[in-house]
Structure 1
Amino acid sequence: MNEKAVGRAIKQSGISREDIFLETKLWPAFYEQADAVEKTLKRLDTDYIDLLLIHQPSGNYIAGYQLMEKAYKEGKVRAIGLSNFTPEQIHEILNICQVKPAVLQTEVHPYSQEKELKKFLAGESIVIQAWYPLGHGNKTLIQEPIFTRLGQKYGKSNAQIILRWHIQDGNIVIPGSKNTKHIKENFDLFDFSLTDKEMKEIAAMDQQKRYYVSTPELLNSYAKMVPPVDEQK
């Protein structure tokens, strides 16, 4: 729903396209459209996408993945991946794919660390990309005493401590914010490191608690829902 706006922003930024990592997703209703990737490129007004993901394992996601593989082979996409897939669904893709997914985007934060999933993915050379990295902004998580203590020690905010944990734990992390101060803070993570002991303290916080819960009914609704992307101004 924001690809045209992102394309305009890239053009207006004055930053070279090669210096921008551009990632987007195929929406489920487009998985069976032969020109879905070409339309995505047109909306973004770019010649290539750095990382293209399957949005959800709903509808004919095998057809969608094969569209991405074709685009990868044609040089229109530099890497492809998955979002919100279970291990069983990932196995399904691995069994039929010609190009392996590079990334699995899924919910990961200190309350839901997906340790077993990460072990499985590591064996397949697939990297976690964490969305909801701050637990959907949950105050209980962000205000945990350990993050307050470490924030005071390192002169960082609680959110910065969590994001630094992600980086040291091997996660690609994509925090979102509309607050300019927070956006800048989200980049200011590379002048300190958590100790092994501190990393283990945070690892012990895992509750396998997710904030987003998918259901078959929800996935079916995604497959039927067609966003009015081509009418965007």
Structure 2
Amino acid sequence: MKRNANLSHEARLILALLERVGGARGAWLPDNALLRDFDTLIDHLLAQGNPQCASLGALMRDALAATHAGTRGVLHGLLMASAACTDGTDHLALLLDARGAGLSAAQRLHALGWIAGSPAQRLTPSALAQALGMSRQNLVRAINGETGETPKRWLLRIRIKRARNLLTDPGLALNDIALMCGFSSHAHFSRTFRDITGMTPQRWRKWRGGPVAARRRDLSGS
């Protein structure tokens, strides 16, 4: 407890949420207390007056409103990025680095920045390892220690997340979205999208365009 004494309330909340989100596996089944803590953090991020913090808060809120198989991983990444928006960031980074297996806080933030600025075709384990100055072997160990996945699977989830964002634009054809997200064909894109989200891109686009209440009913019944 003493090691967290120099942290702000928000930084302590991020650390606690990371332990609760990252320490579990399987389906996303949050309790009310966890959701309340996320609401508190989101309110703080939105009130910072910092566009980056506000964007992270909005993304976190959207992830909680439309949960899916990858929600835990999405929230884990957003929490790590949010660490840079808190008071006592340097001390929080040291605590995150000391947690053991996984990317360090600095590596995680570097990776998120590289991912955000890279075209989908370049989102490969080898390119990420090069960007972080790591060997492919060390990257495999770090990503597996942090997410329980291979780097390839982790980056594939990120590409599918980009695809979900693009699917909200009704003017974009599925073939174009597949190419923009680095898939060789529409068939490959559809198979991968269904494997990760449980829906085809067509169904997800229709489902995402419906009312939030209907999406929640669909989730609770699945």
TM-score (norm 1): 0.27
Larger of the two Rg values belongs to structure: 1
TM-score (norm 2): 0.28
Structure with the bigger percentage of helix: 2
Report 1 or 2 for greater relative contact order, CA contacts < 8 Å, sequence distance ≥ 6: 1
